[in-house]
Structure 1
Amino acid sequence: MNSQGVAPQAAYFQRLDTLRFRATEHVGGGWNPAEQHVAPALGLLAHAVEADRDARRDDRLPLARLSYDILGVLPIDAVDIEVTVLRAGRTIELVEARLSHSGRAAVVLRAWLMQEYDTAAVAGTPFARIAKPEEMPEWDPTTLWPGGFIRSVQVRRQQIEPGRASFWLRTDVALIEGERVSATARAVGLLDTANGMTPRATTEQVAFPNLDLTAHLFAAPRGDWLGFDTTASFGANGIGLTHSIIHDADGPIGAVSQCLTVRPRRT
């Protein structure tokens, strides 16, 4: 068992068929523990795109951009995935994946896959590194959020102010029971946590779920820990933005943005 009481062999999804999966208790959401936290579903869709790619070609084009639209909530139940190549190409592809429940689409992913080239001579980024996981204090996200998914992650966080923090996450829970997935799909399954790790206001004051998530990756993630340098902003008009620079053990590897609907709670 890990420190959250989750067995290492636990999984977020169980495969029922080629493109049908059953969500487990470990996907329970923060806004409603009886509904899915969308983070694992995003990783599942990324895995589905990679699996479809590998069935069609042998060059393993990396996922460079993943743009998700979240169309509705998901019960903790069976889900279906459909993958379609929108723009086939030798070096670049645009692929769409849809996750649905009982015939209703809940999440749509459009992913650009791009051929790799040797650009080591010019590689680099001015994005600042964050402190290493061992240099940050442990933090328990269940003090803010309920649900099986939040209980399944380990967090180390440096809070600067409400809406501004850097943190690292990892999980012992597999994305799919009994199956290996890529480091990218596994990392993508954690990205949606960014919006809840350093909120600007309490959930008693406002609800601030995200409607989308767009990730740009210029390097594939390595290691167990995934790092975030996150800023959350609320406008005066009910619209918000959570923006994160994503890190692995070697430094920054990409960026993630989430559009928020910020709704005051009724008193």
Structure 2
Amino acid sequence: MSEYWVMSDQPEAFYLPAGDDVYEPTRATESPWDSAAQHGGPPTALLAHVIDATVGPGMRLARVSVDFLGPIPRRPARVEVTPLRPGRQVRLTEAHLVVDGRAAVTARAWHIATGPTPPVETERVPPPPIPQAPDEWESLLGMPDWGYGQAIEWRFIRGGREPLGFAEVWTRVRIPLIAGRKITGLDRTLIVADAANGLSATLPIKEWLSIPPTMTTTLLRHPEGEWVHLDCRTHLADDGLGATHATVSDPGGRLGDVSQPLLIRRR
């Protein structure tokens, strides 16, 4: 059965521009673990969005790797961008989300120049259809209401109510990433990508931590439309580590992949 969130008093966006490359996070960024912290999805999307704006036409973001250097305070943050490898064919750019003078998140993004269509076409296989919205909704994985969870519509094909080690869900972000700017397909994809480990949790998340210190998203093409599909699976090792992999799609077919190593600990 599918399920989704209904949000009252919905914020204008995940972030409010505050001038001089500073962004103020709203309640929509709220982590399920700490109301004073941000979920990793919105900062990931914000850094990629700002990096993407520095790259000229004819290049497309192909991969972004994000390192979470600790809990991300839900306070105003400045985004600092540095080109590391300028180029006309490939370009590497780094960005930092700086809160209270400390880098809380670091992202590195590779852009690759687009070119002529290759002589071989990869078949697009669409994911399962988007389920109908149910008449009632339940808490995501049994968690109480929290900003990030409510800012996204979740329609599950598998999983969503209890830890299973896998989940398949269609998502639709309800609000813009940045107030006053139209949300893009890239924004939508990266806002939800970091949710893969929580969606496919193997242990009760009220009792166990499943923390990804880093995440990598590789994109085959530019996302299209409002809906993003995640097919997630988490595996655990016997020494307190884990790994999550997710295939990301839109209604037209596969978009790319998400990879997250995990710290697994009892709370």
TM-score by length of 1: 0.89
Aligned-pair CA distance for 1:38: 1.5
Q: Choose which of 128, 131, 148 in structure 2 pairs with 1:131.
A: 128
Match of 1:81 among 64, 79, 85: 79
Which digits, 9 at most, give the CA deviation of each residue in 1:207-263, with x for residues without a partner? 111111100001111111100111111111111111001000101110001111000
C-alpha contact (below 8 Å) 1:141/1:197 kept by paired residues: no
Q: Counterpart of 1:151 in structure 2: which amino acid?
A: Q
- The aligned residue for residue 158 of structure 2 is 159
Structure 1, unpaired ranges of 5+:
none
Whether 2:146 is the aligned partner of 1:144: answer no
The number of residues matched between the two structures is: 259
Structure 2 residue aligned with 1:109, among 87, 107, 110?
Answer: 107
Of the three residues 238, 254, 258, the one matched with 2:240 is 238
* Separation of aligned partners in 2, 1:125 and 1:230: 22
Q: Offset at 1:11? A: 0.5
- Name the counterpart of 1:38: 40
Name the one with the larger helix percent. 1
Amino acid at match of 2:110: W
**1:218-257 equivalence runs, <5 A:** 218-257=220-259
Query: C-alpha distance in 2, partners of 1:43/1:247?
Result: 17
Structure-2 separation of matches of 1:196 and 1:136: 21
Give the Å deviation of 1:190.
1.6
| Structure 2 Cα separation of the partners of residues 263 and 213 of structure 1 | 19
**By how many angstroms is 1:5 displaced?**
2.3
> 1:180 corresponds to which residue?
182
Match of 2:171 in 1: 169
Distance in 2 of aligned mates of 1:101 and 1:27: 15
- 1:141/1:198 CA distance change after superposition, 3 Å: farther
- In the other structure, the counterpart of 1:264 is 266
CA deviation digits over 1:42-78, x for unaligned, max 9? 110011101122xxx3x24110000111101122110
Does 1:61 pair with 2:59? yes
TM-score by length of 2: 0.89
- Identify if the C-alpha distance between structure 1 residues 171 and 214 changes in structure 2 by more than 3 Å, giving closer, same or farther: same
Structure 1 residues 252 and 141 mapped into 2: Cα distance closer, same or farther (>3 Å)? farther
User: Matched residues in 2 for 1:208 and 1:152: separation?
Assistant: 22
Q: Which amino acid aligns with 1:230?
A: C
Q: Identity, % of aligned pairs?
A: 30
CA contact (8 A) 1:71 1:107 kept: yes
Q: Partners of 1:123 and 1:18 in 2: how far apart?
A: 44
C-alpha change, 1:193 and 1:241, in structure 2 (3 Å) is: same
Contact 1:142 1:151 in 2 (8 A): no
Q: C-alpha root-mean-square deviation of aligned residues, in Å? A: 2.2
The residue number in structure 2 matching 1:212 is 214
Query: 1: CA distance between counterparts of 2:129 and 2:118?
Result: 24
* Residues 60, 184 of structure 1: alpha-carbon distance in 2 compared, 3 angstrom cutoff: farther
Q: Distance in 2 between matches of 1:129 and 1:16?
A: 40
Identify unmatched segments of 5+ residues in structure 2: none
Measured in 2, the distance between the counterparts of 1:129 and 1:249 equals 6
SS of aligned partner of 2:105: strand
Q: Could you say which residue in structure 2 is the equivalent of 1:96? A: 94
> 2:133 and 2:17 mapped to 1: Cα distance?
36
Counterpart residue identity of residue 51, structure 1? A
- CA distance in 2 between counterparts of 1:110 and 1:210 reads 16
Residue 70 (structure 1) aligned with residue 72 (structure 2): no
